[in-house]
């Protein structure tokens, strides 16, 4: 069993909690796991990426290479498009439909690509594209968008419902556990 | 117990288990979390943020002389600042184990250069340990303290972005408490005067030779420090650190000599490995540090920097390509994906200042911090950025060269000013500068993730601490014109900057407003009303909460923190607060 999961988004969107939950699930199941993340300057609204590599043997490099990701979880549409070359043939993408304009687009220097939807559909064997932000708000907080997306992606991951609930209980602050469980269920039902 | 740890958390855990008692560091990506993690320990470890890396290493040296195990952590450029005490402490050796951790940033994820700290280790003549995963981060840190005491030497532990900021599974161990070694005066060891230094230099060379000879049997717990992995003898690779992981991923059948000790190099062991393989390659990010020494020892190297770059990060795919392994081609062209440069946050206090400087077309000598982002569009308000505190010296030199200080300023943050700006300001007073220095006091060290500093009123453990009054300090060193102002009072700020850059005397302007990430939002968001004439003045401040929607500026409610700067720059009074 090997799963390479790329979590991409914009600095400040909460991509880090998603990777912490995934990493600890892998640890609970006695898999080897490595994660790699971005700190510092990029966190100020730049594009951010977290690599999660899970294996029943040994993980060497913490980085996923182009064409190696089984799953890409994208918190923003342009970021899904930016990291698309990392998707494996037959891979799955879970994409939040939110669009956050980068400054060069806001300033009119370049256009936000118009054909993202088509390109994603062509490249991904499974493409689940939905308004994760709306579902997170329904669950009680826009910040739960990370767990909504994990819920959606859980359908392609080798962990049971029980294990997911267990890891949410362990690594989410007590007062947000119920909210996050709800957010997870909403994502899972997509 | 097994836990998932960030490389930096594993370094901290290793130091804690090794019985470290004093930790003194200056934050810097990618090294910061080592000290932050240790600051969360109990009273068994004294942890402090130093004003800069030089002080950090000096405090650690003093703690070692005092008999305790001590650690100082920094990023690569920080070791330049600390190089003075570091190089001489390397002659003197230690009493309590003394470890310096340095984290390089190949690829410049969050740095102004990608210098290779191994040269500092070799230049100073200290052993350099380089781990390749979080487990090794912990075990090598423990070994570093043991080696420091066994060989009477400072030890440099070298990390990098992908080691410090990757997570993996680490088995936790127990802390071994170590009594503070009773102090005995030993001036021949610790007083660095010529007569003593000459003797200590010889001792330093001897212990390095001893370490090189012992290298093959040194163990970090159950992990050999250097490791020979014989597989297919056709390709033999000498490597270390994160590159070892890329090699294992890309060339699983190759024979590998993995170095955990990158200075001094065990050249005899490498020669023995080379004799067992057909072609020897050296794979290392950065400069040809290993390769040149291996070649100089007369060991034939088939491929190194002639195959792989000095610049940037390596990857498994880069190695596959170099060794002719086929890569999958997704056939996706996404080259039209716009870049997403980082930005000053919505509500950032620096935005007010840079709006004004951009408007005045001031020449701005910049510095290291979040505010360097003001160099990018749309403000384009910074002309130079060099090193911590460098803005002040550069501004002074520029003034001396051009004979003009009009519409010229230096800009630097509170933490950066304390780090290395104070001496530059003393120089301006002493050499009768007429320029203007603007200190951006946001009450925190921002870019590295909000660490306390001597002006913030709290210490590394979050306890209340004396707060340096920057204005008083400036007056005390002889600056006559010192002003404090809220950077969001943009009219007053503009008048003040105009007046002070015109004045034929040195001035300091301190812009005071706390970082938006440490104060909770209390104001309702702004909204653009029908009075908007689409003049787009509000777009010029570069706020991430303002976008264009249907051809007009639009404020994203969720992103806006209600700072009101956009309303102040709007010439038509068209931006209002939303009703609560």
Question: For B413-445, what is the HEC assignment?
Answer: EHHHHHHHHHHHHHHHHHCCCCCEEEEEECCCE
Our CA-based measurement puts residue B146 at a distance from the nearest CA of chain A, in whole angstroms, of: 28
Adjacent-strand bridge partners of B355: none
The Cα–Cα gap between A156 and A150 comes to 10
Question: Quick check: B390 and B421 in contact, CB under 8 A?
Answer: no
Question: Quick check: B497 and B436 in contact, CB under 8 A?
Answer: yes
- Domain spans, chain B: 2-221, 226-322, 350-512, 526-577
- Start-to-end CA span in chain A (Å): 25
Contact A40 B343 (CB under 8 A): no
Q: What is the DSSP string of B258-301?
A: EESEEES--HHHHHHHHHHSSEEEEE-SSS-HHHHHHHHTT---
Contacts of B356 (CB under 8 A, 6+ apart): B490, B493, B494, B497
Residue range B368-385: average pLDDT? 95
Residue range B208-219: average pLDDT? 97
Q: Complex ipTM, two decimals? A: 0.96
Element housing A125 (H / E) = none
Q: Do domains B226-322 and B350-512 have the same CATH topology?
A: yes
Contact B316 A65 (CB under 8 A): yes
Residue range A16-25: average pLDDT? 91
- Residues of chain B in contact with residue A110, where contact means CB-CB under 8 angstroms, are 336, 338
CATH of domain B526-577: 3.30.70.20
Contacts of B194 (CB under 8 A, 6+ apart): none
- Residues of chain B in contact with residue A88, where contact means CB-CB under 8 angstroms, are 328
Assign B205 to helix, strand or coil: helix
- Domain spans, chain A: 2-188
> What is the β-pairing status of strands A69-74 and B436-441?
unpaired
Contact B447 A41 (CB under 8 A): yes
pLDDT at B333: 86
Running DSSP on this structure, what letter comes out for residue B458? B
The Cα–Cα gap between A161 and B491 comes to 58
Contact B343 A103 (CB under 8 A): yes
The Cα–Cα gap between B452 and B34 comes to 15
- The CATH number fitting domain B2-221, selected from 3.90.1150.10, 2.40.50.140, 3.40.50.1000, 3.40.50.970: 3.40.50.970
The Cα–Cα gap between B375 and B365 comes to 10
Instruction: For residue range B283-332, list pLDDT tens digits in order.
Output: 999 999 999 999 999 999 999 999 999 999 999 999 999 999 988 776 78
Using CB atoms, pick whichever of A34, A37, A105 lies closest to residue B168: A34
Architecture of domain A2-188: 3-Layer(aba) Sandwich (3.40)
pLDDT at A117: 94
Contact A40 B30 (CB under 8 A): yes
pLDDT at B112: 93
Element housing B310 (H / E) = none
Assign B18 to helix, strand or coil: coil
Q: What is the DSSP string of B386-405?
A: -STTHHHHHHHHHHHHHT--
Taking CA–CA distances from B558, the nearest residue in chain A reads A142
Q: Given strand A32-36, what is the order of strands in its sheet?
A: A126-130, A87-96, A69-74, A2-10, A47-55, A32-36, B166-171, B2-6
Q: List helix spans (H) across chain A.
A: 15-28, 77-82, 103-106, 116-123, 132-139, 145-153, 161-171, 177-188
pLDDT at A39: 73
Instruction: For residue range B338-359, list pLDDT tens digits in order.
Output: 999 989 999 999 999 999 999 9
> What's the pTM value of the predicted model, to 2 decimals?
0.97
Query: Residues, chain B, total?
Result: 580
Taking CA–CA distances from A32, the nearest residue in chain B reads B169
Q: Examine the pLDDT at B580 and tell me if it is beyond 90.
A: no
What mean pLDDT is reported for chain B? 96
Using CB atoms, pick whichever of B166, B328, B377 lies closest to residue A34: B166
Using CB atoms, pick whichever of B327, B334, B376 lies closest to residue A81: B334
**Cis bond leading into B376, ω under 30°?**
no
> Exposed, middle or buried, B520 (CB in 10 Å: 0-12/13-18/19+)?
exposed
Assign B74 to helix, strand or coil: strand
CATH of domain B350-512: 3.40.50.970
At B90, is the pLDDT very low, low, confident or very high (cuts 50, 70, 90)? very high
Selected for mutation to probe chain B from A13, A41, A81, A132 (highest B CB count within 10 Å) is A41
The Cα–Cα gap between B258 and A187 comes to 44
- Start-to-end CA span in chain B (Å): 49
Residue range B223-246: average pLDDT? 98
Using CB atoms, pick whichever of A44, A67, A107 lies closest to residue B342: A44
Q: What is the DSSP string of A43-89?
A: GTTSEEEEEEEEESS----S-PPTT-EEEEEESSHHHHHHTGGGEEE
Instruction: For residue range B126-169, list pLDDT tens digits in order.
Output: 999 999 999 999 999 999 999 999 999 999 999 999 999 999 99
Using CB atoms, pick whichever of A44, A63, A84 lies closest to residue B334: A84
B226-322 topology per CATH = Rossmann fold (3.40.50)
pLDDT at B410: 98
The neighbour count for residue B104, using CB atoms within 10 Å, is: 29
The Cα–Cα gap between B490 and B487 comes to 6
pLDDT at A14: 81
Question: Quick check: B101 and B117 in contact, CB under 8 A?
Answer: no
Residue B393's Cβ-side half-sphere holds a number of Cα atoms within 13 Å equal to 12
Residue with the bigger pLDDT between B328 and B282: it is: B282
């Amino acid at each position: 069993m090997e799963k390479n999961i790329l979590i991409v988004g914009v600095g400040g969107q909460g991509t880090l909690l998603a990777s912490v939950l995934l990493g600890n699930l892998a640890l609970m199941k006695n898999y080897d796991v490595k994660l790699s993340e971005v700190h510092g300057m990029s966190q100020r609204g730049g594009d951010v990426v977290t690599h999660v590599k899970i294996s029943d043997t040994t993980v060497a490099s913490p980085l996923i290479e182009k064409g190696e990701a089984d799953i890409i979880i994208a918190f923003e549409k342009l970021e899904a498009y930016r990291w698309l070359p990392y998707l494996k043939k037959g891979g799955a993408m879970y994409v939040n439909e939110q669009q956050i304009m980068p400054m060069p687009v806001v300033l009119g220097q370049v256009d936000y690509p118009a054909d993202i939807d088509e390109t994603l559909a062509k490249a991904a064997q499974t493409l689940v594209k939905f308004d994760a932000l709306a579902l997170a708000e329904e669950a009680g907080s826009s910040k739960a968008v990370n767990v909504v997306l994990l819920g959606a992606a859980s359908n392609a991951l080798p962990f049971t419902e029980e294990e997911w609930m267990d890891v949410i209980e362990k690594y989410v602050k007590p007062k947000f556990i119920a909210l996050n469980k709800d957010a997870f269920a909403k994502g899972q039902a997509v | 117990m097994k836990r998932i740890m960030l490389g930096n958390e594993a370094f901290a855990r290793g130091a804690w288990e090794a019985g470290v008692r004093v930790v003194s560091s200056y934050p810097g990506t990618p090294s910061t979390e080592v000290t932050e993690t240790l600051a969360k320990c109990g009273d068994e470890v004294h942890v402090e943020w130093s004003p800069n890396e030089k002080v950090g290493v000096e405090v650690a040296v003093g703690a070692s002389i005092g008999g305790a195990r001590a650690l100082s952590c920094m990023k690569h450029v920080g070791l330049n600042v600390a190089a003075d005490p570091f190089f001489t402490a390397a002659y003197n050796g230690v009493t309590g184990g003394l470890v310096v951790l340095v984290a390089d940033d190949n690829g410049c994820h969050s740095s102004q250069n990608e210098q290779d700290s191994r040269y500092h280790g070799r230049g100073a003549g200290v052993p350099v340990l380089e781990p390749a995963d979080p487990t090794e981060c912990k075990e090598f840190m423990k070994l570093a303290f043991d080696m420091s005491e066994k060989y009477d030497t400072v030890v440099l532990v070298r990390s990098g972005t992908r080691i410090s900021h990757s997570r993996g599974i680490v088995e936790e161990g127990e802390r071994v408490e170590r009594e503070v070694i009773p102090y005995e005066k030993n001036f021949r060891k610790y007083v660095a005067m010529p007569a003593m230094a000459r003797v200590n230099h010889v001792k330093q060379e001897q212990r390095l030779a001893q370490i090189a000879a012992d290298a093959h049997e040194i163990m970090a717990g159950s992990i050999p420090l250097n490791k020979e992995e014989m597989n297919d003898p056709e390709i033999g690779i000498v490597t270390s650190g994160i590159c070892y992981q890329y090699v294992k991923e890309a060339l699983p059948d190759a024979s590998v000599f993995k170095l955990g000790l990158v200075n001094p190099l065990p050249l005899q062991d490498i020669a023995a490995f080379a004799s067992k393989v057909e072609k020897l390659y050296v794979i290392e990010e950065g400069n040809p540090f290993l390769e040149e020494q291996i070649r100089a020892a007369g060991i034939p190297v088939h491929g190194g920097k002639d195959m792989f770059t000095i610049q940037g990060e390596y990857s498994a795919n880069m190695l596959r390509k170099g060794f002719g392994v086929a890569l999958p081609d997704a056939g996706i062209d996404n080259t039209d994906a716009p870049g997403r440069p980082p930005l000053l946050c919505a509500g950032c206090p620096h935005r007010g200042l840079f709006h004004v400087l951009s408007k005045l077309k001031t020449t701005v000598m910049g510095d290291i911090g979040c505010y360097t982002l003001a160099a990018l569009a749309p403000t384009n308000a910074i002309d130079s950025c060099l090193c911590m505190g460098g803005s002040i010296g550069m501004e002074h030199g520029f003034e001396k060269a051009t004979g003009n200080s009009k519409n010229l300023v230096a800009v630097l943050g509170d933490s950066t000013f304390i780090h290395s700006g104070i001496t530059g300001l003393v120089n301006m007073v002493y050499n009768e500068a007429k320029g203007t220095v603007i200190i951006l006091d946001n009450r925190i060290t921002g870019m590295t993730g909000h660490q306390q500093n001597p002006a913030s009123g709290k210490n590394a453990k979050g306890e209340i601490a004396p707060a340096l009054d920057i204005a008083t300090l400036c007056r005390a060193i002889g600056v006559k014109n010192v002003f404090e102002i809220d950077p969001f009072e943009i009219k007053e700020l503009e008048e003040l900057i105009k007046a002070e850059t015109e004045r034929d005397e040195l001035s300091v302007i301190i812009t005071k407003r706390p970082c938006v990430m440490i104060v909770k939002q209390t104001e309702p968001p702004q909204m653009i009303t029908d009075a908007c004439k689409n003049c787009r003045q509000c777009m010029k401040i570069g706020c991430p909460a303002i976008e264009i929607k249907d051809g007009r500026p639009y404020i994203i409610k969720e992103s806006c923190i209600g700072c009101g700067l956009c309303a102040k720059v709007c010439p038509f009074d068209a931006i209002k607060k939303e009703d609560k």
